[in-house]
A and B are shown apart, each in its own frame.
Chain A
């Protein structure tokens, strides 16, 4: 593996990147398969989610294991507004992002002082609370009317449907632009590709910006960062807000793609996948997130094809592969330069 990557690096980068770009652009016409185009779309959605989590987990070093909550806020905002008020989903893109960011700031402000693993369980907790709330819907809050003074809630809440409970929401509008509606898998392929390319570009700029360097500083040594005049609370809040906004955008795209969403699409397991994407690829590394998404999203599908006669062993092998990948490449598949140096120093 190391050998191969080393040899690939020595090749003239221009050839490599143009070949890769051509492959990516022509992908739907090369595979000529709706299923694999669909897998590619899933890859794009998770790449966006991975890149957004990478801000919080990779750059700012905050142990976030509840990212599905922000994804859910974006997706449900889009679904509710689109299916009820018939608002075009593209218009809802900024709304979804903004609401996710506001939600993230509200929940993360009181818990920012928590460290490491305590932050981890609290973010898991918020993720679960969001999922349970979506699942139970507003009508299940009727118990609040038992509290003296809140009796009036009883008739308002009974039968109130907002999130659609365990069945979720269907009838979400498909995105449309200049009279063109996205319908086929390959339509979405190019839409998502554009978003991923834009995000990668934006992340590269962000990484080396003043804010990006401040995140690295906070991650490496919070006390020193504070002594250097970095407002650590503000910087961490911004990490949560920007990461959540981007996850909300991914949620909007996802909702308008599948047109049906349910609470189980935003379970703890989804947060775990996003977490694994970032760490398996190489924490804090943009190409790492893309490679990690291939590992977590595309690899299981490839295993499904390859192991068609021993289907049921698929996830067993996948679990073992996760262990093996970490044991043999703890720095991730495509680590960022900063993290690689850090590991060398630690040895």
Chain B
């Protein structure tokens, strides 16, 4: 029982990272019907920029690392990666909106290779570690609940993720711009007729998605302490899986999909075999899609290539 609870908690923590990244996939897919394979690498970029700014602030300014600083740096990194996301959209995707379904996928893969190798050139091919003093910002408190151990950092991670996701949900559901975003994801032409600037909405999506991904990147860096330039490949694939699991294009679907995927993985690690956990996660995805071809919450069916 204790072990089950423990794996559930671990799974939810990992799942919240997946969910944050999955939101970027699902939002871009919603408005463009494009799988943005470079999104995982924007997440990785967030992890690196987080490390670099944290180091820069502590070394140059000599500031003692505090929680407030950490939040500020979160915002800075999110803004930086959002900027890169917008540039990426302008250069790599916008010229291809009328070119069918496959060419933008290649462009995204090219962007992914570009970002990975760019980070490798800038920060080296070896893994980098988040220094201990940043981890010390969040005190090492551990509670025992029903035989399972919950650390403060897990709670903080879950809280940040929940806060960001709730914010996004309310933004999309209850603001004018959010309504416009939903309209664009339903039908570009009709949305344009209603006076919505479709290109601005697409830009906004490429601002929010990468920003959330970057937050996820910093959280992974703080939680595991170790990052490397191919980080985006594995996490990106998992997050994309999560987005599909929940029904791609559906924002609550991505959140639920991410959490479910994290829990499946943790349970597979705890009760079956660590070596097979990724295979089991994919197997569950296949089974769910066989039974429900558009994911858990998805309704619209994708068109032909």
Contacts and interface: CB of A to CB of B under 8 A. Distances in A.
Contacts of A110: 286, 290
Contacts of B109: 272, 275-276, 322
B91 interface: yes
Interface size on B, as a range, is 35 or more
The 6 closest A-B pairs by CB, nearest first: A322-B110, A319-B114, A319-B113, A330-B99, A125-B282, A116-B302
B98 interface: yes
A221 B304 CA distance: 8
A220 B305 CA distance: 9
A111 B303 contact: no
Interface stretch (B130-138, B152-160, B237-245): B237-245
A97 interface: no
B56 interface: no
19 contacts: A61-B304, A110-B286, A116-B101, A116-B304, A117-B244, A125-B283, A128-B237, A128-B282, A133-B279, A143-B272, A275-B106, A276-B109, A315-B113, A315-B117, A316-B121, A319-B114, A322-B106, A327-B96, A327-B107
Q: Is the interface of B mostly helix, strand, loop or mixed?
A: helix
A118 B302 contact: yes
Interface in A295-319: 312-313, 315-316, 318-319
A63 B279 CA distance: 21
Interface in B264-288: 272-273, 275-276, 278-279, 282-283, 285-286
Interface centre among A110, A129, A140, A343 (most CB of B within 10 A): A129
A255 interface: no
Contacts of B29: 117
Contact of A316 (B101, B118, B233): B118
B110 A319 contact: yes
Given A316-B117, A319-B110, A121 B305 contact: no
A283 B244 contact: no
Interface in A103-135: 110-111, 113-118, 120-122, 124-126, 128-129, 132-133, 135
A116 B282 contact: no
B207 to A, nearest CB: 20
A334 B114 CA distance: 24
A233 interface: no
Contacts of A68: none
B92 A327 contact: yes
A140 B91 CA distance: 46
Contacts of A111: 286, 289-290
Given A319-B110, A319-B111, A319-B112, A330 B96 contact: yes
A341 interface: no
A125 B304 contact: no
A279 B103 contact: yes
